[in-house]
Structure 1
């Protein structure tokens, strides 16, 4: 079983409903995931995005860079009694999504990995391990670029984001 970083763009009204009715939120997440599974939209056009297993690597790199928004775990809890895979979901309000989008755009992946040795990730026990493989640091670039596009689209639409590990 894998741990996967998951995101869903929601309007402010949908966020309010999700906070009030976490069961509705989970059903809505599954509905969007099912719909987009067939169409596979690019991150800028998607409502759902996954960082796959790269979430912990990105968490490690963003923490090193003192990133201003917790884009990996979200910032505000809701549905504390719910488990969406690996704990309860969290969210980012639109203003935090805007800040995150600006910071992601201004932080290149090359900047994130500058000075990082794969052994640093191994020592920190960053999931999913295996950092001694050639090109291990490059593996996260695709996911970071997609996350940057996804957050940019969320900010442009003034959306909030639901965030969870599945």
Structure 2
């Protein structure tokens, strides 16, 4: 985990290698892309037990990566996050969200409109939930860094 945090390009190359040199296997790498801040905002509204988008514990001596140091989720935290996401449907994630409030709270990704943001975020949410469920099934820790 620490080595991957210290050498993110090497970590990504290793994931691609494990996938046969193609695109990274979805069970080994998940990118929220520019939807990360939107998902973080939406998930905080539901008081999840784990910060699944931005991670929990900082990795010591890992350095800073644009938006702070890399963080991790232990296998137990991954399980808690996966269970929480399983209990929260994509519809419930965005239920009652005022699109204007969302747009005021976080910078929407390029091409997203206020009206479309909740719907687009729910698609990214499904992919994140699937990734965490797979990691939990294999009792994997998750390394989180934001670029």
Correspondent of 2:11 among 21, 26, 29: 29
**Cα RMSD after superposing both structures:** 2.4
Distance 1:31 1:105 in 2: 30
Say which structure, 1 or 2, has more relative contact order (CA 8 Å, 6+ apart).
1
Q: Secondary structure at the match of 1:91?
A: strand
Q: Alpha-carbon deviations, 1:45-102, whole Å to 9, x = none?
A: x201101111111101101111111011111111445123432100010000000010
Distance 1:160 1:96 in 2: 8
8 A contact 1:119–1:131 mirrored in 2: no
Question: Do the aligned partners of residues 67 and 130 (structure 1) sit closer, same or farther apart at CA in structure 2, a change above 3 Å counting?
Answer: farther
Correspondent of 1:49 among 24, 30, 35: 30
After the TM superposition, which residues 73-112 of structure 1 pair with which residues of structure 2 at under 5 Å, given as runs?
73-80=54-61, 82-112=63-93
Distance 1:79 1:26 in 2: 15
Equivalent in the alignment of 1:138: 119
Distance 2:144 2:31 in 1: 10
Equivalent in the alignment of 2:99: 118
Distance 1:75 1:158 in 2: 17
TM-score by length of 2: 0.85
Shift of 1:30: 2.3
Q: Which has the higher strand share?
A: 1
8 A contact 2:16–2:24 mirrored in 1: no
Aligned residues: 145
Distance 1:22 1:135 in 2: 34
